[in-house]
């Protein structure tokens, strides 16, 4: 099946990065948000990224203009009616996803694929509330989506071979390297990454080392681009906690239980870089 027009629902950090990636890869891209200020904020972030890329010589002004002309914002999900593929990137809340999926199923044309960018929630359950479970799968991007090369293609017990192959080819057309994961909480990356991040928080809680020394140790000792606290702030403490809770819910393995400090920081609105404060403070 040929993909020409892509829909993205949710214009946060991930939805914005995904929409940017699709539009700059040549796809007509429609992004839907719930209100105009959020839509404007999402647009401004992508325009700024393209201007930054042009200033570095990564894009010509002509390419920036073309990218802009392919990116369309809307407040109305009905505008997804002509899309060949829609990627859901709203808040990591299952109730919200289970409300959205039947609504999208109703709007989308019969052959269209319905994907979720969830990092750890149950994709099979999202497919099961639609009449197109064979056309539902996960396509999990990593932050920052335009830069990180990996995507996880998440196969449910109902996803068809054709859906998975189309989505794999779509990922390649975005310049990404797809890996295939079964629909089990955390897929591949978060199943491994979350226990590492939570262990760093527990080390800090227990006074085993300082924030800065833990970050420095993992950067310089293991060659990671960011230490765990910088990465936690970058990914979002709220997002990390939701992912941990989803995996804990599935396996009841204490490795995935959010440490008290993480929960309290999230309860205090310290979400990391996006809220100006997490383990570090941002201007």
Distances (CA, A) of 62 to 50, 58, 66: 11, 12, 6
192 binds ligand CAA (CB under 6 A): no
Annotated catalytic, 245? Answer: no
Is 122 an active-site residue? no
| Residue 53 found at the interface with ligand CAA (CB under 6 A) | yes
140 catalytic? Reply is: yes
Stretch that binds ligand CAA, among 2-10, 48-56, 72-80, 163-171 (CB under 6 A): 48-56
H/E segment holding residue 88: strand 85-88
Of 70-78, 99-107, 137-145, 163-171, which part binds ligand CAA (CB under 6 A)?
137-145
Q: Which region, judged by CB under 6 A, interacts with ligand CAA, from 59-67, 82-90, 139-147, 165-173?
A: 139-147
**Residue pointed to by tokens 């998975």:** 164
Question: How distant is the alpha carbon of residue 25 from its chain centre?
Answer: 18
- Pick the closest to residue 70 from 135, 8, 147 (CA basis): 8
Residue 119 touching ligand CAA (CB under 6 A):
yes
Task: Provide the minimum distance between the beta carbon of 74 and ligand CAA in the complex, in angstroms, as a whole number.
Answer: 22
Q: Can you tell me whether residue 186 is helix, strand or coil? A: coil
Q: Count CA atoms closer than 13 A to 183's CA, side-chain side.
A: 21
Active-site pick, 119, 120, 158, 159:
119
Provide, for the chain, the percentages of residues in helix, strand and coil under a 3-state DSSP scheme, each rounded to the nearest 5: 50, 15, 35
Query: Active-site positions?
Result: 119, 140, 152, 190
User: Where along the sequence are the contacts to ligand CAA (CB under 6 A)?
Assistant: 49, 53, 56, 119, 142-144, 146-148, 190, 193, 225-226, 231, 235, 239, 243
């Amino acid at each position: 099946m040929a993909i020409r027009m892509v829909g993205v629902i949710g214009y946060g950090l991930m939805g914005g990065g995904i929409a940017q990636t699709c539009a700059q890869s040549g796809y007509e891209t429609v992004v839907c948000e719930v209100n105009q200020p959020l839509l404007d904020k999402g647009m401004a972030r992508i325009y700024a990224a393209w201007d930054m890329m042009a200033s570095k010589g990564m894009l010509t002004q002509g390419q920036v203009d073309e990218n802009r002309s392919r990116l369309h914002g809307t407040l109305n999900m009905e505008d997804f009616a002509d899309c060949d593929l829609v990627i859901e990137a709203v808040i990591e809340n299952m109730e919200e996803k289970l409300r959205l999926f039947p609504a999208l199923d109703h709007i989308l044309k019969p052959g269209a694929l319905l994907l979720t960018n969830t990092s750890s929630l149950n994709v099979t359950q999202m497919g099961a509330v639609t009449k197109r479970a064979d056309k539902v799968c996960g396509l999990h991007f990593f932050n920052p989506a335009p830069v990180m090369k990996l995507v996880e293609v998440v196969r449910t017990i109902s996803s068809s071979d054709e859906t998975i192959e189309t989505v794999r080819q779509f990922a390649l057309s975005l310049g990404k390297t797809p890996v295939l994961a079964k629909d089990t909480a955390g897929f591949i990356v978060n199943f491994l990454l979350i226990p590492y991040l939570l262990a760093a928080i527990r080390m800090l809680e227990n006074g085993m080392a300082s924030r800065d020394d833990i970050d420095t140790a993992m950067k310089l000792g293991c060659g990671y681009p960011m230490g765990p606290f910088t990465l936690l702030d970058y990914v979002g403490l709220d997002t990390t906690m939701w992912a941990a809770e989803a995996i804990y819910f599935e396996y009841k393995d204490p490795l995935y239980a959010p440490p008290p400090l993480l929960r309290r920081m999230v309860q205090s609105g310290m979400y990391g870089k996006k809220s100006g404060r997490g383990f570090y403070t941002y201007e």
